[in-house]
Structures are given as structure tokens and as C-alpha cells.
């Protein structure tokens, strides 16, 4: 087992020597986990097929699940894609750097493994000084899915990366917790109108305000598992974000949700199960579960998003047998939060009725 180096870096002014050392690892075909504004990514040279294959192996990631390719400059996109539609150009200028991934037709220089054999490529420019410094210093686009074992909750701190990948990757750049906490929105620009394949840090409403009509892929809002033959984006096909315990999501009007969760807690505790509840500030004191954790206030979904994956991992440490989570409204970041909770639960969803 290799030794994973951990470099502490400032999120505002990363040490140039450390960035150069990490970039050297990338150039030599190694794997470096690094922070973005969304979650920590696991990076490899996107144009080095062997390095990308090693990335899939380290994560135990299915080869049909394409990673996102991260760039450090706008001009880097042109060599990776066949064309940039006018709407995509507007979106890049409006939202980059930021939590928006755009899907284009790929160019011939991109290895098949980097795009899971597809004729498309997902590209974004992260809004994080450490990420941008690493990509620019490496001198290559960086393929970077989330820096966790496949299927686990995404990492929002370096310690989450090490929980899953210590000894499996070359290095981690530790710049503290990430700001947004859920991954980027993935928007397919190869179809008309553009289609959200995965909701994320850039809300649907913000995209529609710039380019007009935007569709939601059925998988993005699914309440049950849907068949996906070829995933054009991460987060579409395989189980993601899941804690070790069984997770149930209760959705509906808040008073009905509280009543249903209270019933479920009682039922599972009678079965001698250790029960956790993923609540919000408004309701956390209403539950008599073994472990209750609050995501934050329902009126601050940015805080809820930031806390989501961290709290799912904390329930693993607490050793609960089952987690019952409150649903949140699907406006703004709520759409991304509910997408993650539903997928993490394996679509074990209970509709609470008054």
C-alpha cells in the first residue's frame, strides 16, 4: 500500500512549492485529491489514459461512469471539445469559475477512458484557488470525480478523503472544508433545449435566467430508480452518496413529515435498532431517536447543502442501523439536496400525508 502524502494549504493563498509538488505528481501520472468549492475531487491527467484508469481503480469506480474534466483557463476548453454553442459560451462567461459543468461533443485528443467511451465530455472550471493553481501548474486538464470510494457520501473535508482513500492515492491537498457541499450542476449542451443531467450548486432558476428554457432529465428528479443505458454525467446511473446504514427519506408537508418520522422512529426502536434522524433546526428537538443531527435551518438551504455529506458520514461513526431523513423543498439548492438524499437512500422514499 502506498503512502498518501497530506499537504496543508491555505485556501486563499496556497503555497507555490506545495502546488508544484502536487502538480508534478499529476504530470507523472499520479493521483492527487484537491478541494473545489463543491466537494473534494480526485485528480488525474485527463489526457493520460493510464492515469485515468488508475483513478477509476483507486475509487473502485465503474468504468461506465464518466468523470468531469476540470480546466484552469477558458481557452483550455477549445482543445477538448468540437464546438462551443453560443448558449454555452454565455454560460461559461456568466458562471465560470463556479459549480456548473457543461457537456459538449468531445474532441479526438480525449482518451476513451476519460469519457467512459462516450462521444461527449463534461467540463467545468472550479471556483477554488487551490484547484485552479493545481490545474494551471499541472499544465493539463484534470479528470476529477469526487475523492471517495464509489457509492460513498462525497467528501467535503480532507479527513473524509483519507477515510476512504488513504493508501490508495498519492496525495491530498488539505485546504479545510468546502463551501457549497454538493457537486456541480451538470448541463448537457448537446441537446436543445439544454438539459440538466444532475442538479447541483448552480440552481435551475439561475440557468433559466440566463439562457431561457432548461429541461430536467428524468433521472435528476426521479423518485424511483430509472434505467440509464449510457450515463452522460456522473450521478446518473450508479448508487451514490450512500452511508453504511439504511437510509429512508420522508417527504411531504412538514407537520406530516414530523408525524411520520416519529412513527418510524418508534417502530424501528421497538425492533432494537439504533435509529438516527437527519432533521433541521426547526424540528430537531421533536424526535426521540438515538441520534438526531440537524442539517441547519430549512430557510437556509445553502447551509443544509454544506452539511449534508458530512452528517451522513457522522452517522456512520455513530453506528446507527437506520437513518430517517427529512425532505426539503425542491426550489433552488433544494433540488440538488433532494437528488442526493433520494439516491443515497436507494429511493427508499416515504410520502407523508396529513
- In 61-201, beta strands by DSSP E: 69-70, 100-105, 120-124, 142-143, 171-174, 185-188, 195-198
Residue 205 lies in a domain: yes
- Mean pLDDT throughout 116-126? 96
Residue 207 lies in a domain: yes
Per-residue confidence band for 231, with pLDDT thresholds at 50, 70 and 90: low
- Same domain for 154 and 271? no
Task: Write the CB contacts of 225 (distance below 8 Å, at least 6 apart in sequence).
Answer: 346, 347
Residue 257 lies in a domain: yes
The order of strands in the sheet holding 171-174 is 5-8, 171-174, 32-35, 40-45, 142-143, 69-70, 120-124, 100-105, 185-188, 195-198, 215-216
- Mean pLDDT throughout 91-115? 97
CATH number at residue 290: 3.40.50.11030
Which residues does residue 185 pair with via DSSP β-bridges, in sequence order?
100
For the stretch 1-29, pLDDT in tens is 689 999 999 999 999 999 999 999 999 99
For the stretch 29-39, pLDDT in tens is 999 999 999 99
Task: Write the CB contacts of 152 (distance below 8 Å, at least 6 apart in sequence).
Answer: 164, 241, 242, 243
- Same domain for 205 and 253? no
Residue 346 lies in a domain: yes
Residue 233 lies in a domain: no
Q: Which domain holds residue 168?
A: 5-221
- Angle at Cα 280 formed by Cα 276 and Cα 285, nearest 5°? 70
3-class DSSP state for residue 130?
A: helix
Phi, psi of 106 (to 5 degrees): -80, 155
DSSP letter, residue 324: E
DSSP string, 38-64: SSEEEEEETT-HHHHHHHHHHHT--TT
To the nearest whole percent, how much of the chain has pLDDT over 90?
91
- Same domain for 75 and 216? yes
| Last residue within a domain, chosen from 221, 236, 263 | 221
Q: In angstroms, how far is CA 195 from the centroid of its own chain?
A: 18
- Same domain for 145 and 254? no
Distance separating alpha carbons of residues 322 and 344, to the nearest angstrom: 13
DSSP letter, residue 190: S
Element (H, E) at 294: strand 291-294
What pLDDT sits at residue 228?
61
Residue 232 scores a pLDDT above 70: no
Residue 298 lies in a domain: yes
Per-residue confidence band for 153, with pLDDT thresholds at 50, 70 and 90: very high
The closest of 62, 57, 189, 183 to 121, measured between CA atoms, is 189
- Same domain for 318 and 270? yes
What pLDDT sits at residue 239?
66
- Same domain for 214 and 308? no
- Same domain for 51 and 106? yes
- Mean pLDDT throughout 166-184? 98
Domain count, the chain: 2
Reading phi first (left if > 0) and then psi (alpha if -120 to 50, else beta), residue 19 is in: alpha
The closest of 21, 337, 34, 267 to 172, measured between CA atoms, is 34
- Same domain for 274 and 342? yes
Using CB atoms within 10 Å of the CB of residue 74, give its burial: 0 to 12 exposed, 13 to 18 middle, 19+ buried: middle
Residue 161 scores a pLDDT above 80: yes
Residue 31 lies in a domain: yes
- Same domain for 215 and 256? no
What pLDDT sits at residue 264?
98
What pLDDT sits at residue 165?
98
Residue 237 scores a pLDDT above 60: no
Distance separating alpha carbons of residues 111 and 140, to the nearest angstrom: 13
For the stretch 256-306, pLDDT in tens is 999 999 999 999 999 999 999 999 999 999 999 999 999 999 999 999 999
The closest of 259, 270, 262, 277 to 322, measured between CA atoms, is 277
135 grid coordinates: 490545474
The closest of 200, 66, 81 to 143, measured between CA atoms, is 66
The closest of 284, 286, 285 to 295, measured between CA atoms, is 284
What pLDDT sits at residue 227?
67
Would you say the pTM of this structure is higher than 0.75? yes
The closest of 240, 298, 190, 285 to 65, measured between CA atoms, is 240
- Same domain for 252 and 210? no
What pLDDT sits at residue 234?
63
Residue 226 lies in a domain: no
Mean pLDDT score of the chain: 95
- Same domain for 203 and 262? no
Per-residue confidence band for 235, with pLDDT thresholds at 50, 70 and 90: low
Residue 222 scores a pLDDT above 90: no
Amino acid at each position: 500500500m502506498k503512502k498518501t502524502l497530506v499537504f496543508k494549504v491555505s485556501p486563499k493563498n496556497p503555497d507555490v512549492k506545495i502546488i508544484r509538488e502536487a502538480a508534478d505528481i499529476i504530470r507523472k501520472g499520479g493521483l492527487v485529491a484537491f478541494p473545489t468549492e463543491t466537494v473534494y475531487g480526485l485528480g488525474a491527467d485527463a489526457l493520460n489514459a493510464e492515469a485515468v484508469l488508475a483513478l477509476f481503480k483507486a475509487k473502485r469506480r465503474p468504468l461506465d461512469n464518466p468523470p468531469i474534466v476540470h480546466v484552469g483557463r477558458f481557452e483550455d476548453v477549445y482543445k477538448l471539445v468540437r464546438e462551443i454553442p453560443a448558449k454555452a459560451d454565455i454560460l461559461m462567461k456568466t458562471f465560470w469559475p463556479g459549480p456548473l459543468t457543461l457537456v459538449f461533443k468531445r474532441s479526438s485528443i480525449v482518451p476513451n477512458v476519460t469519457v467512459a467511451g462516450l462521444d461527449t465530455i463534461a467540463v467545468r472550471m472550479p471556483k477554488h484557488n487551490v484547484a485552479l493553481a493545481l490545474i494551471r501548474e499541472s499544465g493539463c486538464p484534470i479528470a476529477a470525480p469526487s475523492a471517495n470510494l464509489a457509492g460513498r457520501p462525497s467528501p467535503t473535508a480532507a479527513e473524509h478523503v483519507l477515510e476512504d482513500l488513504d493508501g490508495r492515492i498519492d496525495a491530498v491537498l488539505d485546504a479545510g472544508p468546502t463551501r457549497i457541499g454538493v457537486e456541480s450542476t451538470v448541463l448537457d449542451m448537446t441537446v436543445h433545449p439544454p438539459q440538466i443531467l444532475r442538479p447541483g450548486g448552480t440552481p435551475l432558476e439561475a440557468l433559466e435566467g440566463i439562457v431561457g428554457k432548461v429541461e430536467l432529465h428524468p433521472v435528476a428528479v426521479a423518485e424511483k430508480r430509472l434505467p440509464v443505458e449510457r450515463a452522460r454525467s456522473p450521478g446518473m446511473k450508479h448508487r451514490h452518496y450512500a452511508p453504511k446504514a439504511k437510509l429512508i427519506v420522508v417527504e411531504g408537508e412538514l407537520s406530516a413529515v414530523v408525524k411520520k418520522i416519529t412513527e418510524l422512529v418508534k417502530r424501528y426502536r421497538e425492533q432494537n435498532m439504533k435509529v438516527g434522524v437527519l432533521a433541521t433546526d426547526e424540528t430537531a428537538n421533536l424526535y426521540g431517536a438515538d441520534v438526531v443531527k440537524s442539517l441547519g435551518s430549512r430557510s437556509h438551504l445553502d447551509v443544509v447543502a454544506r452539511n449534508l455529506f458530512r452528517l451522513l458520514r457522522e452517522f456512520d461513526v455513530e453506528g446507527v442501523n437506520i437513518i430517517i431523513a427529512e425532505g426539503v423543498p425542491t426550489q433552488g439548492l433544494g433540488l440538488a439536496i433532494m437528488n442526493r438524499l433520494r439516491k443515497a437512500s436507494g429511493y427508499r422514499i416515504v410520502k407523508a400525508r396529513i
